[in-house]
Structure 1
Amino acid sequence: MHHASQHVQQLNPYAIALCATARWIASRHWVPATGGNFSIRDGEHNALVTASGKDKGELSPHDLLPVSWVDGHITCPGTPSAETALHARIYQLDPAVKAVLHTHSVQATVFSRIITTDQYIFSGYEMQKAIRGQQSHEQNCPITLFANTQDIPALAELVQQQWPQVQKASALLVRGHGLYVWGQSLEEAKRHLEGWEFLIHCELERIRLTGDL
């Protein structure tokens, strides 16, 4: 039975697509040392999530674990990524979300440590239009920052409390840790990831050159 279900998962188009995206993200050096985690919705209350401790540049479908949630209770047959509870909460908060990507790039991690406010507003960048809901470089494009913690369910609660603001960015930053993004398709999540990584890199360089926070 185990082999049969594993075979089905290897043929799952969601699993294949997520592994291809993971390889692309790894090629950008955004998930070093088995860091980061990715998931893709596989049903109303189900997702496929990367297993803990896997090199994201070498993922195959059998490295993805099925996770389900009902009334806040998460079930999984293996050891999913530690951040699975946050992925599940994002899916529950917005039924339209189809994929969640979490990365550990140098620029996002450094940026998250030098910004002391709980929210940072980007403006003036054409790339803001890569983010859902952003129509112009003249708009304010805020991202919310959270303190790092090993208590992921507690972090998920904080994200839920601030969800109306967090949702506008389709992203959030965890200090000293990394970036989470999501989208209404895997393609949109990937676009949000690349857009936010670009924006953060640009702003970090602007701060470095001007000294102006």
Structure 2
Amino acid sequence: MPATVPDLPDPADALAKAGRRLDARGLAPATAGNYSARLADGTILITRSGAHKGRLDAAQFMRVATDGTAIDAGRSSAETLLHCLIYAVDPAAGAVLHTHSVAGTVLSRALAGRDGIELAGYELLKIFPGVATHEASVTLPLVDNSQDMPALAALLRPILLAQERLVPAFYIRGHGLYAWGPTLDAAEAMVEGCEFLLACAWEEVKLRGGADDQSDPI
């Protein structure tokens, strides 16, 4: 049974409030980012294209079908298909948040040629499902950026499906983070945890003087 967020009396208002919090943390510059929630009827509520995420209101959200087809009038986020992909591959996903941090963006570019961001030894790894200790390693899938959303979704689908334990986050190189959870609160916590870990990893890369050795874990 797919997860939904019917516990939110007003999903658009809840997503707008999350947007203001993420914007205040510097994770939504300009009009970057997009947010969504799976509704009780199975449709997806998502931000419209071009809306500033720190100044969202109900009018800046719209519903789309599971294949991204618009239900309400207007144009949804250009990355709607990536949200649809996440809901399709993870029945537990109830909300998806896409953010942009300086640390994550630069780190992903520094890891040219890698297909994952390995995070190891951090206490906050316990935010990930099934991880109960800092003595662990979690790898976020890392893919190259593209403006072709159908192609990007097609690239990501087998990567996500191949995971033995699905990591509820991935990174698009030079672009940003996608993270999700069964509830909006869980999705926001996953974003905060991932962005913190990415910032720590970038600081470690800088201390080592770069990330040229592809065999070195972060």
Q: The residue matched to 1:79 in structure 2 has which SS?
A: coil
Q: Aligned runs of 1:95-106 on 2, under 5 Å?
A: 95-106=91-102
Q: Aligned runs of 1:52-67 on 2, under 5 Å?
A: 52-67=49-64
Q: Name the CA distance, whole Å, in 2 between partners of 1:145 and 1:176.
A: 10
Could you give the per-residue CA deviations for residues 143-171 of structure 1, whole angstroms, max 9, x where no partner exists? 11011000111111111111133963210
Of the three residues 145, 154, 171, the one matched with 2:142 is: 145
Larger proportion of helix: 1
Gapped regions of structure 1 (runs ≥ 5): 1-10
Please say if 1:88 is aligned against 2:84.
Answer: yes
Cα distance, 1:212 vs structure 2: 5.6
Give the length in aligned residue pairs: 201
Of the three residues 183, 196, 199, the one matched with 1:198 is: 196
Could you give the per-residue CA deviations for residues 173-200 of structure 1, whole angstroms, max 9, x where no partner exists? 1011111001111111001100000000
Q: Name the CA distance, whole Å, in 1 between partners of 2:45 and 2:18.
A: 14
Gapped regions of structure 2 (runs ≥ 5): 1-7, 212-218
Aligned to 1:75: 70
Aligned to 1:7: none
Please give the TM-score of this superposition, normalised by the length of structure 2: 0.87
Work out whether residues 47 and 66 of structure 1, in 8 Å CA contact, stay in contact via their aligned partners in 2. Answer: yes
**Compared CA separation, residues 112 and 132, structure 1 to 2 (3 A):** same
CA RMSD of aligned residues (A): 1.7
Work out whether residues 129 and 135 of structure 1, in 8 Å CA contact, stay in contact via their aligned partners in 2. Answer: yes
Please say if 1:30 is aligned against 2:4.
Answer: no
Alignment identity in percent? 41
**Compared CA separation, residues 100 and 46, structure 1 to 2 (3 A):** same
Cα distance, 1:104 vs structure 2: 1.2
Work out whether residues 38 and 45 of structure 2, in 8 Å CA contact, stay in contact via their aligned partners in 1. Answer: yes
Aligned to 1:156: 153
Q: Name the CA distance, whole Å, in 2 between partners of 1:149 and 1:166.
A: 26
Q: Name the CA distance, whole Å, in 2 between partners of 1:14 and 1:122.
A: 32
Work out whether residues 40 and 98 of structure 1, in 8 Å CA contact, stay in contact via their aligned partners in 2. Answer: yes
Aligned to 2:214: none
Work out whether residues 70 and 76 of structure 2, in 8 Å CA contact, stay in contact via their aligned partners in 1. Answer: no
Please give the TM-score of this superposition, normalised by the length of structure 1: 0.89
Aligned to 1:5: none
